[in-house]
Amino acid sequence: MLEQYDLSNMMVLDIETVPQYRNYDEVPDNLQELWAHKSQYQRKDETPKEFYERAGIWAEFGKIVCISVGIFTNSGGNHPGLRIKSFADHDEKQLLQDFSRMLSGQPLSLILCAHNGKEFDLPYICRRMLINGVQFPPHLQIQSKKPWEIPHLDTMELWKFGDYKNYTSLSLLTAIFNIPTSKDDIDGSQVGHVYWVEDDLPRICTYCQKDVVATAQLIRRYRGEALIEDDYITIV
């Protein structure tokens, strides 16, 4: 599976998002009303204020604080590796500009891969780029393209094999494929608290990088290949 892809021409990515405001009381009145309407079917018994900690899920009410990317190295040698770089900033526009500039310098044939990336990471990046007035790099220009012309891979979509009924988490897949992970610090539901309350962006960045490693290792498992050893995973 996936043997047709050259891993040296693939970039694995993951994003971390938080609510745009520290708490619900800081949200402008007009956006509070729109938030109540947008979230009404997900809130169950929670009020819009109680549910606001989940606002980072929606690009209209959240923002990106970190994008981590990984490139496979020496994919045909005895010691395959992974090189990781992160774009993390309190200034979302600056973060997106830096990411766009990096991506624009990559070959047009580059394949972008993320777990649930087609439903979350990539659309979220595009929406936030539009909101911030950041120009799309060619790799995100997918309008008017046929599905098979879009150079994006999704490890969750690949696992479905055409079955669209269920969401399968990256954590579950790493467990069943015996992929060691060190994601024992925080989980996605805590990112907003770590950002707004603890003011610890580096911790979020580390968490994001771990997802990139896990996704890259999952790709190796899909291909029936050995995992990348820790000594050959580098952060730049």
Closest CA to 207 of 195, 191, 219, 229: 191
Task: Tell me what pLDDT residue 216 has.
Answer: 98
Residue 141: domain span: 7-20+61-235
Secondary structure class of 77 (helix, strand, coil): coil
What is the token pair recorded at 178? 């015996």
Q: Is residue 41 part of a domain?
A: no
Domain of residue 195, CATH code: 3.30.420.10
Those residues whose C-beta lies under 8 Å from the C-beta of residue 28, and which sit 6 or more positions away, are none
**Residue at 130: amino acid letter:** L
In a domain, 168, yes or no: yes
For residue 26, being part of any structural domain is answered with no
Domain presence at residue 126: yes
What pLDDT was estimated at residue 85? 98
In a domain, 94, yes or no: yes
Residue 48 lies in a domain: no
Contact assessment for residue 91 and residue 43, using Cβ atoms and an 8 Å cutoff: no
How many structural domains are present in the chain?
1
What CA–CA distance (Å, rounded) separates 155 from 114?
Answer: 6
96 by DSSP, 3-state: which? helix
User: Could you tell me if residue 130 is inside a domain?
Assistant: yes
Please report the pLDDT score of residue 185 as a whole number.
75
* Angle formed by the axes of helices 92-104 and 122-132, nearest 10°: 110
Which pLDDT score is estimated for 155?
A: 97
pLDDT in tens, the chain (236 residues): 999 999 999 999 999 999 999 999 999 999 999 999 999 999 989 999 999 999 999 999 999 999 999 999 986 667 899 999 999 999 999 999 999 999 999 999 999 999 999 999 999 999 999 999 999 999 999 888 888 888 999 999 999 998 877 789 999 999 999 998 865 678 888 999 999 999 999 999 999 999 999 999 999 999 999 999 999 999 99
| pTM of this structure | 0.94
**Cα 34 to Cα 154: distance, rounded to the nearest angstrom:** 31
Domain assignment of residue 138, yes or no? yes
- ∠149-152-158 over CA atoms, to 5°? 110
CB-based contact 95:89 (threshold 8 Å): yes
User: What is the phi-psi region of residue 161: left when phi exceeds 0, alpha when psi lies from -120 to 50, beta otherwise?
Assistant: left
